[in-house]
Amino acid sequence: MIYLLDTDHISLLDRGGHEGQTILARLNRSAPNSIVACAISLEEQTRGWLASMNSLRRTDHQVDGYRRLVRLLDTYCGVPVLPFDDEVAALYDRLRRVPIRIGTMDLKIAATALANKATLLTRNRTDFEKVPDLRVEDWSM
């Protein structure tokens, strides 16, 4: 079984706290190499961090911002990252024609999970459960 971390689960892991610790405990009990991320989540988080870093004016805030940016890089270097390749793009285009009323990036993440026969780990069950045949679990509870 392959488990694809949605952006929200990656963010919860980064922040720590109870939900992040709950996810981490489940990840630690998972089979080696069964946990993956995707290029879409990497894009979402990179865009968010770059926008955040751009708004930091005080040097002391920038130090913490860069520390967290490096931690994000370490996170993505620690798990395989599934690409947005031709197969995923074709599936994404098919899903857009259905139509499914969820955000563009979420639909790309769903297409990545479906193309790779992965279960999506997310708190956003409401939106992702609209996608036919997508397996969804929330490990934050």
50, 52, 55, 57: CA torsion to nearest 10? -100
Rounded Cα distance between 25 and 69, Å, is 23
pTM to 2 decimal places: 0.93
Q: Hunting for tokens 């993505």 — which residue is that? A: 76
Q: What are the tens digits of pLDDT across the range 25-52?
A: 999 999 989 999 999 999 999 998 888 8
At the second CATH level, the architecture of 2-137 is: 3-Layer(aba) Sandwich (3.40)
Residue-range domain boundaries for the chain: 2-137
